[in-house]
């Protein structure tokens, strides 16, 4: 083999190696390649929305409160859907219908308001949203995600709270579509875990295997702005006149008193 042919072969092999490395290193991404290849799926990147994410407050009758940070900066479509439903009062009075210890506590189905437990988990709101995936929002302990059917764009109102990390639900860990995480519990995680661990019918009623025996009702769901952090530390470099008593005040009063005393003495002498 000639020197020229050997050099050419080396260049081809080097180029092939570089291309293979680029493919391996690229891995799963949140670029436009995802949504363009599959209908009903939107991949997002974190954005600066100019303010902190809002907080959803879930009041569970007899259990306490669960507070959730809504990932408005990562999943704007999904969080807007949830906020709109919460502000309309849609979630008030809806029960938890699927509880699995060490997995999830699921709710959001308006069918749970009726007296037929066998259709719990089959209902939703009047509209659906696309599957919105952000690679920065994964199924950590306390993550809140949207329930859906096998169709990626079928989520509407049902959501679940993770009891422990559930990374098997993440989009990048599955051959099929994953599930959309749109928030995380910031207060009351012990309440959510207690609900997930509540008694269910199990094998006594196989069709209601994961259905709670007792009603667990969201009495109220609403959205608030996050608390503002106030820095109470005192900065010596700041001009804080409210802390200081003007020093010239004391000698001025004393001067007036001395002046009055001198005048009185002079008057007495006259």
- How do residues 43-102 score in pLDDT, each as one tens digit? 999 999 999 999 999 999 999 999 999 999 999 999 999 999 999 999 999 999 999 999
Domains of the chain by residue range: 55-224
CA distances from 81 to 76, 90, 150, 258 (A): 9, 11, 20, 76
**Is the domain covering 55-224 a CATH 3.40.50.1820 domain?**
no
User: In the chain, what are the helix, strand and coil shares in percent, each to the nearest 5?
Assistant: 35, 20, 45
Tokens at residue 155, please? 């989520």
| DSSP per residue, 30-84 | -STHHHHHSTTEEEE-----SSPPPEEEEEETTTEEEEEEE-TTT-HHHHHHHHH
Report the Cα–Cα distance between both ends of the chain, in Å, rounded. Answer: 133
Residue 254 has pLDDT above 90, yes or no: no
pLDDT, tens digit (0-9, with 9 covering 90-100), for 64-79: 999 999 999 999 999 9
pLDDT, tens digit (0-9, with 9 covering 90-100), for 214-237: 999 999 999 999 887 656 554 545
Q: What is the CA radius of gyration of the chain?
A: 32
Lowest mean pLDDT among 25-34, 104-113, 199-208, 256-265: 25-34
Helix, strand or coil, per DSSP, at residue 116: coil
What one-character DSSP code corresponds to residue 126?
S
How crowded is residue 82: how many other Cβ atoms within 10 Å of its Cβ? Answer: 27
Helix, strand or coil, per DSSP, at residue 113: helix
Angstrom distance (rounded) from CA 144 to CA 105: 10
Q: What does pTM read for this prediction?
A: 0.73
pLDDT of residue 13: 54
pLDDT of residue 26: 34
Q: How far is CA 233 from the centre of its chain?
A: 29
Tokens at residue 9, please? 């072969």
pLDDT of residue 105: 98
Owner of token pair 């609900």: 195
Helix, strand or coil, per DSSP, at residue 92: coil
CA distances from 23 to 34, 176, 222, 245 (A): 15, 20, 45, 71
CA distances from 31 to 28, 42, 173, 175, 234 (A): 9, 10, 17, 18, 46
Indicate left, alpha or beta for 121 from its phi (over 0: left) and psi (-120 to 50: alpha).
left
pLDDT, tens digit (0-9, with 9 covering 90-100), for 180-201: 999 999 999 999 999 999 999 9
Angstrom distance (rounded) from CA 108 to CA 131: 17
């Amino acid at each position: 083999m000639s020197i020229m042919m050997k050099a050419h072969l080396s260049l081809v092999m080097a180029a092939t190696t570089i291309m293979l490395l680029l493919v391996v290193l690229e891995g799963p991404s949140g670029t436009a390649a995802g949504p363009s290849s599959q209908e009903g799926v939107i991949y997002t990147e974190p954005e600066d929305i100019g303010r902190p994410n809002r907080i959803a407050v879930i009041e569970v009758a007899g259990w306490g409160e669960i507070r959730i940070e809504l990932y408005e900066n990562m999943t704007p479509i999904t969080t807007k859907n949830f906020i709109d439903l919460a502000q309309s009062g849609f979630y008030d009075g809806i029960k938890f219908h699927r509880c699995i210890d060490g997995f999830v506590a699921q709710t959001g189905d308006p069918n749970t308001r009726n007296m037929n437990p066998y259709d719990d988990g089959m209902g939703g709101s009047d509209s659906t949203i696309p599957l919105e995936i952000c690679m920065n929002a994964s199924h950590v302990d306390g993550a809140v995600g949207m329930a859906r059917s096998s169709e990626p764009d079928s989520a509407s109102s049902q959501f679940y709270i993770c009891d422990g990390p559930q990374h098997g639900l993440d989009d990048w860990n599955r051959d099929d579509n994953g599930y959309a995480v749109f928030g995380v519990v910031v207060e009351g995680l012990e309440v959510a875990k207690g609900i997930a661990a509540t008694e269910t019918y199990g094998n006594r009623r196989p069709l209601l295997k994961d259905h709670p025996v007792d009603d667990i009702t969201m009495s109220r769901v609403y959205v608030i702005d996050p608390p503002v952090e106030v820095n109470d530390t005192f900065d010596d470099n700041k001009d804080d006149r409210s802390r200081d008593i003007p020093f010239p005040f004391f000698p001025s009063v004393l001067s007036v008193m001395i002046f009055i005393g001198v005048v009185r003495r002079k008057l007495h002498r006259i």
